[in-house]
Amino acid sequence: MKDINLILAAVGLLVLVLGLLSRPIDRSWLSPPLVAFCLGVVLSPIGLGLLDPSAWGDSHHVLEEATRLTLGISLMGIALRLPARFPFKHWRSLAILLCLGMPIMFLISALLTQWIIGAPLLIALLIGASICATDPVIASSIVTGGVAKQNLPEGFRHLLSAESGANDGLAYPLVFLPILLLTKPSDAVWLEWFSKVWLWEVGGSVIVGALLGWCCGELLKWSERKGLFDQPSFMSITLALTLLVLGVGKLLGTDSILAVFAAGIAYDQRVSGQDRSQENNVQEMVNLFFTMPVFALFGLMVPWQEWLALGWSGVMLVMLVLLLRRLPMILLLRRWLPPVRERGIALVMGWFGPIGVSALFYAVLASSRSGNDLVWIVGSLSVFASIIAHGMTAAPFARLYARKSANLDQ
């Protein structure tokens, strides 16, 4: 009971501080994920020792489920924040980022892992797959707020949001390919990967999510026409839809994370502009309340000793991953990405490919499925480095880009 009350108090304090100080935090080198992470470290056994996740049973399973819920809520928020037609209008840019960009980031991360720390090939591929996706939670903290809206182009912010929403779910088959190669007979791997993982767990999730989202939007319109819908009920609609899709998707054995994003996009096509505005505001509040505590949980579970055991190789690996995993790819492909075709914003897009909650989710999942702790150690270290690097540079880089653009226009 003591732990429960401490957790309630910590979460309440965290959200209260982030809410009351949102403007100065948004304009500083701090970021909400970094503040939440630091709170977790302070409460952890290495800090004040008030909370110890190892006493809760399987702490990795707790983190896996917490990150899955967090991703679901964040992806629904992204789907509602995007203009309704944006994913369809810019489908070519999204297809390039997902079909070319994400595999490139996967391979670069895997090759760097094998080269620097000497991980076996399949483990290196598993680590590369776990950290290749652009995290929607940290990305949201970069592209929302007053500083981002004042200094960064709308097209860039929407494209980064849409990419981070879609590639979290599409990293799923990349993660499961090395898991299958590690745990299944080689003659059965490719058939299972194509038929089960791609066709059902990925394709089925899109169908299930889109169907549930579309039906929810139609039911909302029907309820309004019949006078059955009370305005305050808006606060519960998208949160309920998120939980419904996460639960149904998991029960059906699909990629429930991708299903939530598909549901949000489909739902978004059916609601009116006024409804979208109200849902968006509510979802941003829900995002703050539910997504930041997962970084505090990460701060409680940091594997400090394992990180130190990697030595300078670990430091070199995460630095090169942050520099080379994404930036060269965006600069190479920018001519085919209209929202970020200009070199300055392409540099911003190339730098801000954060590694966060999605990497934590896949790292603990892959570690448990493969039985190899190196996936969790390197994955969590990459998340820590991204929280620091991307969180601290978000506001300064946004203002720097705006100043450079203003000077060029003069």
- Amino acid letter, residue 1: M
**Residue located via tokens 């006493």:** 55
What pTM did the predictor assign?
0.93
pLDDT of residue 28: 75
Residue 313, both tokens: 């190789």
Residue 240, both tokens: 């309920």
Helices (H) then strands (E): counts for the chain? 21, 0
The answer to whether the CB of 358 falls within 8 A of the CB of 136 is yes
Q: How far apart are CA 238 and CA 276, in angstroms?
A: 11
Helix axes 374-409, 304-324, angle to 10 degrees: 40
pLDDT of residue 113: 97
Q: What is the mean pLDDT of each run of 10 residues along the chain (410 residues)?
A: 79 84 78 90 92 86 93 89 89 95 96 96 96 89 78 91 91 95 88 94 95 94 79 72 94 93 92 55 66 92 95 96 96 94 93 94 94 95 95 86 74
pLDDT of residue 409: 57
Per-residue CA distances from 206 to 170, 202, 361 (Å)? 11, 7, 20
Q: How far apart are CA 283 and CA 238, in angstroms?
A: 7
The answer to whether the CB of 113 falls within 8 A of the CB of 127 is yes
Please list the helix, strand and coil fractions of the chain in percent, rounded to the nearest 5, in that order.
Answer: 85, 0, 15
pLDDT of residue 298: 96
Residue 222, both tokens: 């029907």
pLDDT of residue 232: 55
Radius of gyration of the chain (CA): 21
Q: How far apart are CA 149 and CA 172, in angstroms?
A: 31
**Strand, helix or coil for residue 231:** helix
Closest CA to 390 of 160, 66, 169: 160
The answer to whether the CB of 292 falls within 8 A of the CB of 32 is yes
pLDDT of residue 286: 66
Cα 197 from chain centre: 20
Q: How far apart are CA 180 and CA 193, in angstroms?
A: 8
b/e code 115-128 from CB counts within 10 Å (16+ = b): ebbebeebbbbbbb
Residue 198, both tokens: 């791609």
User: Which architecture characterizes domain 2-18+28-409 according to CATH?
Assistant: Up-down Bundle (1.20)
The answer to whether the CB of 70 falls within 8 A of the CB of 290 is yes
